[in-house]
Amino acid sequence: MPDVAGAATVAVPGVGVTLGGYLVRPVNRQRAAPAVLLLPDLGGSAEDVLDEARALAERGYVALALSMRGAAGSQGVDACGADETVDAIEALQWLSRQPDVDPSRLGIVGYGQGAQVALLAASRSAMLKAVVVFNPITDPQHLRASTASAALRKHLTQDCASVATAAVSPLAQAAGIIAPVLFIHGGKDRRVPPSQSEMLDERLRAENKMTELHVLPEAGHEFTAEQTSKAWSWVASFLGSHQLRAAASRTSDQQARVNKFAERGWNLPVTRHVDSLQAIGKVKRQRVSTMENPHVPGRRDEIRELWFDGLYMQVLIPGRKRDFLLQEIAISASRYKVLYGLRVGAQRQAVEELLGQPDVHGDDYLEYMNASGVGSARIYLKDNRVAKIEWEYRAD
């Protein structure tokens, strides 16, 4: 795989083959993060889903963009989804073992044949918490008759003739799919008609599975930038709902409070301009460092850490200018106001009544995450009272 900025080139073990890909990590992530495996369409490679991997990393995910068998950087030959499925499960296991990944929060995103493989992997593995598929192949036999692409029809009829159709049909394997599935399909896709998504969505609904279908009426197999932007708003919300947070156990009011609290639960007189930080109070200590901007070669960004009395902040100043992005804030003194009255000293019971079940918890903390994945709030406890509240943001 060629080197690219902001991503680590990796060799991932499949079954009897080695697969090439890119691993993209969130900037300055300190906690174990959820992770997503991205699989491209037939004929594509990891480079084709690298922008999507970066978009997920900006939202706080560890993202693995992977070339499937026979694609650039990977060994083997295309097996029409059969061998690719076991490779995907191996890749998920590899991803779960990375030191900065929370193995309990794995997701998968696939396109076309990559979406077919993602669904098949979901039917055989309980590791996944969320599945997102764009224009998926869900029934190869039906697709042979309905596709307008002569090349795809030839591939399914000739190249895949030796593969048992049921073994690579997510529709036939629907009973094994446990994780929630988001279908996104182009209404004018003539290569893989939207009926492919509609059939499996209907089957999963009939089996009381969690599923969501969005058809973009004017979209073909390839989306425009505007269509992609709209689709990714659904992706962010879906992953946030099923991979990041305990949505099923919270009321709609509780989830609304979680979203607001995780986004800006602190109440400080600051704007986006760095000079407004002076309004908080006297800075007891600060540390300034710089880092290479992951998107603009040769540009350096400033990281500024500030310690006040009972308050810590870390901000990113892009291009070392005057506006900043908040990366982390921690409050450990009761005099600082916090949304819903959950300041230092509040009881744990009050936290759980207002915000519901946490997304992640330990013996001495509760963590809540914004549904769109833009930030999280971790509430540290001592003797069942709030001792410190720490917010972390995906500033990039």
Tens digits of per-residue pLDDT, 285-318?
999 998 877 667 788 888 899 999 999 999 888 8
- Phi, psi of 303, deg, nearest 5: -110, 120
CB-based contacts of 116: which residues, under 8 Å, 6+ apart?
A: 81, 110, 136, 137, 138, 140, 168, 170
Say which range, 11-20, 66-75, 95-104, has the weakest mean pLDDT: 95-104
Give the pLDDT band (50/70/90) at residue 363.
confident
Distance CA 372, CA 61 (A): 12
Mean pLDDT of 5-27: 93
Give pLDDT, residue 294. Answer: 65
**Residue 19 pLDDT greater than 50, yes or no:** yes
Give pLDDT, residue 396. Answer: 43
Most confidently modeled range among 23-32, 36-45, 235-244, 272-281: 36-45
- The β-bridge relationship of strands 211-216 and 285-292 is unpaired
Both tokens assigned to 223: 């989306």
Residue 362 forms beta bridges with which residues? 365
Give Cα 81 distance to the centre of its chain. 23
Measuring CA to CA, which residue among 72, 100, 91 is closest to residue 15? 91
Give pLDDT, residue 373. Answer: 60
**Residue 84 pLDDT greater than 90, yes or no:** yes
Give Cα 87 distance to the centre of its chain. 20
Say which range, 39-53, 117-131, 320-334, has the weakest mean pLDDT: 320-334
Distance CA 325, CA 272 (A): 7
Give the pLDDT band (50/70/90) at residue 252.
confident
Instruction: Say what percent of the chain tops pLDDT 90.
Output: 66
**Residue 187 pLDDT greater than 80, yes or no:** yes
**Residue 348 pLDDT greater than 60, yes or no:** yes
Residue with more model confidence, 322 or 84: 84
Instruction: For Cα atoms 362, 367, 370, give the angle at the middle one, nearest 5 degrees.
Output: 160
Give pLDDT, residue 46. Answer: 96
| Burial of 232 (C-beta count, 10 Å sphere; 0-12/13-18/19+) | middle
8-244 and 250-393: same fold?
no
Distance CA 1, CA 184 (A): 29
**Residue 217 pLDDT greater than 80, yes or no:** yes
Determine the 3-state secondary structure of 329 from DSSP: strand
Distance CA 282, CA 284 (A): 6
Give the pLDDT band (50/70/90) at residue 192.
very high
Got the DSSP string for 187-217?
Answer: TT-SSS-THHHHHHHHHHHHTT--EEEEEET
Give pLDDT, residue 255. Answer: 84
Q: 110-165, pLDDT tens digit by residue?
A: 999 999 999 999 999 989 999 999 999 999 999 999 999 999 999 999 999 999 88
**Residue 246 pLDDT greater than 90, yes or no:** no
CATH class given for the domain over 8-244: alpha beta
- The β-bridge relationship of strands 360-362 and 285-292 is unpaired
Distance CA 29, CA 327 (A): 9
Q: What's the length of the chain?
A: 396
Residue appearing with tokens 């008609």: 193
Instruction: Say what percent of the chain tops pLDDT 70.
Output: 94
Give pLDDT, residue 394. Answer: 62
* Mean pLDDT for the chain overall: 90
Distances (CA, A) of 260 to 31, 85, 315, 369: 21, 39, 20, 10
CB-based contacts of 354: which residues, under 8 Å, 6+ apart?
A: 254, 257, 340, 342
Distance CA 296, CA 368 (A): 32
What's the CATH code, domain 250-393?
2.60.460
Give pLDDT, residue 242. Answer: 76
Domain extent listing, the chain: 8-244, 250-393
Residue appearing with tokens 């979406």: 115
Any alpha helices (H) in the chain, and if so which ranges? 50-58, 82-96, 113-124, 140-146, 150-154, 195-206, 225-239, 252-264, 348-355
Mean pLDDT of 263-283: 86
CB distance 52 to 38 below 8 Å: yes
Most confidently modeled range among 1-10, 193-202, 240-249: 193-202
